[in-house]
Amino acid sequence: MASRAPAATGRLLLGFRKWYYNAAGFNKIGLMRDDTIHEDSDVKEALRRLPERVYNDRMFRLKRAIDLSMKHTILPKEQWTKYEEVQQTWA
């Protein structure tokens, strides 16, 4: 019985993470979690070191989010950033 507890706890935490990711709302305007980080000097240096393609994708997401925010709208549900997609980029 004790060997099952860590697996159950892991599933519970994963469920909570997915719930919180969706509840935060930034995925509804196409942003990833890392796009919402406050840009201090360390973050600016990290952004400078990103590959050009990753940086351009991030800038597109930010510009689209600003546009959607100005229009007071969200993306269609099939275009929301999914938790699983973000997990793949962190690996």
- pLDDT score recorded for residue 89: 57
The mean predicted confidence, pLDDT, of the chain is: 87
pLDDT for 20 beyond 80: yes
Residue 7 has what pLDDT?
72
| Percent of the chain residues past pLDDT 90, beyond the cut | 57
Q: Are 35 and 59 in contact (CB under 8 A)?
A: no
How many residues are present in the chain?
Answer: 91
Asked if pLDDT for residue 82 goes beyond 90, the answer is no
Instruction: CATH number for 9-89: choose from 1.10.10.370, 3.90.650.10, 1.10.1090.10, 1.20.1260.10.
Output: 1.10.1090.10
> Greater confidence, 8 or 89?
8
DSSP secondary structure letters along 45-59: HHHHHS-HHHHHHHH
Closest-CA residue to 59 (of 68, 42, 47, 71): 47
pTM: 0.76
**Two tokens, residue 66:** 């600003």
Q: What is the pLDDT of residue 49?
A: 95
